[in-house]
Amino acid sequence: MFGNFETYIRDKGLVTEEEVRLMLGKATARKFRRRQLLLREGDVCQHKIFVSKGLLRTYRLKEDGTETIMRFAAENSWIVDHQSYHNQTPTKYNIEAIEDSEVILWTRENFEGLLLVIPTLRDLSERLRIDNLHASQDRILMNISATSEEKYQEFVNAFPEVFRRVPLHMVASYLGVSRETLSRIRHAQQRGQ
């Protein structure tokens, strides 16, 4: 189960064989079935999670029972609730497997320890955080300035693989657009093809 992670981290070209061994020595591999929760609202996020296989989502349950999806994470990406992880406060999110998934986990203590002894891992971590910040800025810009049609099209272009694998109501919930509006847009596009 560590194979995908080894490939991923070597592709990043930042760590040596010895450092990879060090990282794996502190890692735990786990499988989650579809709909199982990895993190539950109210818990404190204790792990960095790398997705080796499958598809996860971070979502928030609103008081009226509807869901807001903050993030999808497919193979070769990381998923964590940053706020809860960094501040060690209860999370307001859930992390759930959308498909049967395999993940690699590091406890916060172990991961922070690795950051101290592997400077290139700290660099990678910083770079991923910068990428995340840029993506967040782009998403905010899209949220506040784009039409529903533009939001839908941008999602299809940016995440074709995720789009293929999740139901339309989850895309609606990620974009902050109603399910009805998104159905209407998709039908209009299909008629136009």
* Residues engaged in binding its own copies (CB under 8 A): 60, 62, 68, 70, 82-83, 86, 126, 129-130, 132-134, 136-137, 139-141, 143-145, 173-176
Give the distance from CA 98 to its chain's centroid: 12
* Smallest separation, CB 53 to its own copies (Å): 26
If the CB atoms of residues 150 and 161 are measured against its own copies, the closer one turns out to be: 150
Beta carbon of residue 12, minimum distance to its own copies (angstroms, whole number): 17
Q: How far is the CB of 140 from its own copies (least distance, A)?
A: 6
Residue 27 or 185: the one with the smaller Cβ distance to its own copies is 185
Please state, in angstroms and rounded to a whole number, the distance separating the CA atoms of residues 157 and 106. Answer: 32
Q: How far is the CB of 180 from its own copies (least distance, A)?
A: 16
| Shortest distance (Å) from residue 160 CB to its own copies | 21
DSSP letters for 114-171: HHHH-HHHHHHHHHHHHHHHHHHHHHHHHHHH--HHHHHHHHHHH-HHHHHHS-HHHH
Enter the tokens of residue 71.
């993030």
Question: Which residue, 115 or 156, is less far from its own copies as judged by CB?
Answer: 115
Contact (CB, 8 A) for 88 and 44: yes
Burial bucket for residue 57 (CB in 10 Å: 0-12, 13-18, 19+): buried
Residue closer to its own copies (CB basis): 27 or 39: 39
The smaller minimum CB distance to its own copies, of residues 9 and 175, is found at: 175
Q: In degrees rounded to 5, what are phi and psi of residue 134?
A: -60, -45
